[in-house]
Structure 1
Amino acid sequence: MPNSSELNCVLFAEILGNQKLAEKLGQLEAQRALDRARNRIMRTVEAHHGSALLDQGNRLIAAFSRADGALEAASDMQEKVRRLPPVSGITLGLKIGMACGELRTDGAEPAGIAAELASRLAEYARPGQALLSGELALHLSEAMRPLISALPDAGFRHEGSEIPLFELTATEGAEAIPASEPSALAPNPRLRLVLRHRGIAHIVAESHPILLMGREEGNDIVVLDRRASRHHARIEWRRGAFFLIDQSSNGTFVRAEDESEVMLKREEVALPEAGRIGCGFSVEGDGQSEMVSFEVRQN
């Protein structure tokens, strides 16, 4: 992006929950979780043809040439971060602000009305909320406007003027909450989860909503590894998503594609689009023959 004043749509994202993780597990684990969220956010920026302007700590700023692109990216970010597996029962969330206007990129950080207002809106937003200025809303296409709702009584002021606010309502984000309280998901009965173990495919879908994994005969997937519990874990189709629930002594290890591995211990998580599962063992260590791979598909 040239270092000059331009009219752009700016998205400011603040990642939430890493401080709770640092207090519970230490700075190293908190940083790993933060990096996973940042990677997903930056990939979303690229996917929607945005330009990254700042990636620092738990703050990320990106510019888009179209208001639709900024809104689509915000919705996608909320969903991808929400689907991150929790760490010790804590998940990360986002606050997002979006605005249009003058943008300057000739300093250490983006400046101008668009960057300043987007930052203020992110600060003003509740955990899990994405706010956009009235001006950005005016630039949205007709197809995108049903995804937002006006906030007529917000009372938000910037530089002495009251700014009309809108909220992205297509995606429900989540603040840092225990994994036992997952966010509501949009039902999609056409989805199915395909799992593969020892060359055999297993399906979880609305018509077959529960799959059991463990060492004991009688499970849908019998894991022949001494580290697996007899009734190790189960997968459930609920509200259009697939949840992995650990019931074991040694924990269940999950690694999404291009992400770091996490371990569940008496917790549950909404599975990402694809990845691998280890019942009592790391998917990156030994026990590869008993590893379970999975992929979410459309019927």
Structure 2
Amino acid sequence: MELAQTLAYDPGMSQTQSLSILFADVSGSTKLFELRGDVEARRLISAVLDALSGIAGRHGGKVIKTIGDEIMCTFPGALNGVLAAVDMQKRMAHDPLFVKENLAIRVGLHHGETLVEANDVFGDAVNTAARMGSTAKREQIVTTASTVRGLTNSGSIKTRSLGAIRVSGKLDPIEIVDVIWQEDLSNVTTVQRAIRLDDIPGSGAKLSIRYRGRVIEISATSQPCTLGRDANSTIVVDNEWVSRNHATIEYKRGYFTITDRSTNGTFVRIGDDDEMRLHRDEIHFRKAGTISLGQSVSNNTDNVLYFQCS
């Protein structure tokens, strides 16, 4: 969900504001288009975005833009953004149309200093919010611990720590939290208990990846490891069936995770399990196994990657 931005700076038209940036997108929209066709899928996604826009407005927010199946909003305060995110998830869970169509959203937000120009926003806070959105899963709200610390009159808002992740442009990992919006709040921590910067889960976790004699070691605080045909990838696999930006491996939510972004898929075998094809989805690594980009291991024996968790 990272946005490509070209900033034409004009001091006379720009100002810095402390804002909450929220991204929400429809989960599984690609499959929706495959199942329902372009016209009906577009109608359903538009209905979702209209509902989310209305909720943003009721919480003092402003819709900056909609991009395909995604909406980007700003709010004057952290609490406005968090409450809007909660109401967005509740609307999706209780609206008869959305429930019938099995529609859901994922939401990410962050509060920070933002450069405002005309009807758009730029800067580090926007990039961080976009990273929260890409980290969130279906029916989840992810935000930064710093955003939650800034909440006032938070009432019954509950969160739980998701550990620390890397964000592009930041030297150190940042702690993130999951905002619990469901009615059943059993077995979750409060805002005060969730935020412990000195207690990052999984800080000793390691993942080793071996490819053609080269070994890459990834820790819980490492930058994401990229796989693909692009020369700037962490591990370059140069084959015609491999996408330029094929897959990403990173540590999040307590696990090393591989996310496929390719055309032909990623084939993963964990331990003695059967090989599985991953396509525009993600799975957690366990134990040891193999990764093959674009083709099954049986058809791609010269380009197999081997991983091991420790």
Give the TM-score, by structure 2 length.
0.50
The answer as to whether partners of 1:68 and 1:141 remain within 8 angstroms in 2 is yes
Deviations 1:58-95 (A, max 9, x none): 11111111111101000000111223335796422111
Offset of 1:109 from its aligned partner?
A: 5.1
Select the residue among 154, 177, 187 that pairs with 1:143: 154
Q: What is the match of residue 165 of structure 2? A: 155
The 1:145/1:133 distance shift into structure 2, 3 A limit, reads farther
> Is 2:103 the partner of 1:58?
no
In 1, the alpha carbon distance for the partners of 2:64 and 2:146 equals 21
1:82 maps onto 2:107 in alignment: no
Structure 2 vs 1, CA of residues 88 and 75 (structure 1 numbering), >3 Å: closer, same or farther?
A: closer
Q: By how many angstroms is 1:102 displaced?
A: 2.2
SS at match of 1:166: strand
Aligned to 1:126: 137
1:168 aligns with 2:167: no
Q: Which consecutive residues of structure 2, in runs of 5 or more, have no partner in the other structure?
A: 1-12, 187-310
Amino acid at match of 1:112: G
**Worse overlay, 8-17 or 115-124:** 8-17
Shift of 1:6: 1.4
Q: What TM-score, normalized to structure 1? A: 0.52
SS of structure 1 residue aligned to 2:81: helix
Give the letter aligned to residue 34 of structure 1.
I
1:155 aligned partner, one-letter code: I
Q: Quick one: higher RCO (CA 8 Å, sep 6+), 1 or 2?
A: 1
**Aligned partner of residue 72 in structure 2, secondary structure:** strand
Letter in 2 for 1:19: T
Asked if the contact 1:18/1:33 (under 8 Å) is kept, the reply is: no
- Mapped contact 1:14–1:58 kept (Cα < 8 A): yes
Q: Alpha-carbon deviation of 1:111?
A: 1.5
Contact 1:156–1:165 under 8 Å retained in 2: no
User: Are 1:14 and 2:21 matched, yes or no?
Assistant: no
What SS is found at the alignment partner of 1:71? helix
Q: Which amino acid aligns with 1:79?
A: K
1:164/1:86 Cα in 2 relative to 1: closer, same or farther (>3 Å)?
A: same
| CA distance in structure 2 between the partners assigned to 1:146 and 1:67 by the alignment | 12
1:85 to 1:135, Cα distance in 2 relative to 1, 3 A: same
Task: Give percent identity, aligned residues only.
Answer: 22
The residue identity in structure 2 corresponding to 1:104 is L
Whole-Å separation in 2 of the counterparts to 1:169 and 1:19 = 26
Q: 1:145 Cα deviation (Å)?
A: 6.4
Change in Cα spacing, 1:3 to 1:94, as seen in structure 2 (3 Å) is: farther
In structure 2, how many angstroms separate the alpha carbons of the residues matched to 1:156 and 1:142? 29
Deviations 1:176-198 (A, max 9, x none): xxxxxxxx899xxxxxxxxxxxx
Q: 1:88 to 1:63 in 2, by over 3 A?
A: closer
Q: Check whether the contact 1:155–1:162 (CA below 8 A) recurs between aligned residues.
A: yes
Residue 99 in 1 paired to residue 110 in 2?
yes
CA–CA separation in structure 1 for the residues paired with 2:123 and 2:156: 26
**Could you list the runs of 4 or more consecutive aligned residues of structure 1 that deviate by over 4 angstroms after TM superposition?**
86-89
1:191-229 Cα offsets, whole Å, 9 max, x none, are: xxxxxxxxxxxxxxxxxxxxxxxxxxxxxxxxxxxxxxx
d(CA) in 1 for partners of 2:100, 2:132: 28
Would the alpha carbon gap of residues 21 and 62 (structure 1) be closer, same or farther in structure 2, given more than 3 Å must change? Answer: same
Partner of 1:262: none
Distance 1:7 1:143, change over 3 A: closer
Paired residue secondary structure (1:164): strand
> Which segments of 5 or more consecutive residues in structure 1 lack a partner in the other structure?
173-183, 187-299
CA shift digits 1:119-152 (9 cap, x unpaired): 011001112111111221111124346422222x
Aligned partners of 1:134 and 1:165 also within 8 Å: yes
Q: Matched residues in 2 for 1:8 and 1:185: separation?
A: 28
Give aligned pairs, total: 173
Q: Give 3-state SS (helix, strand or coil) of 2:122's partner.
A: coil
Contact 1:102 1:114 in 2 (8 A): yes
Partner residue, 2:82: 71
Q: Aligned pair in 2 of structure 1 residues 88, 52: CA closer, same or farther (>3 Å)?
A: closer
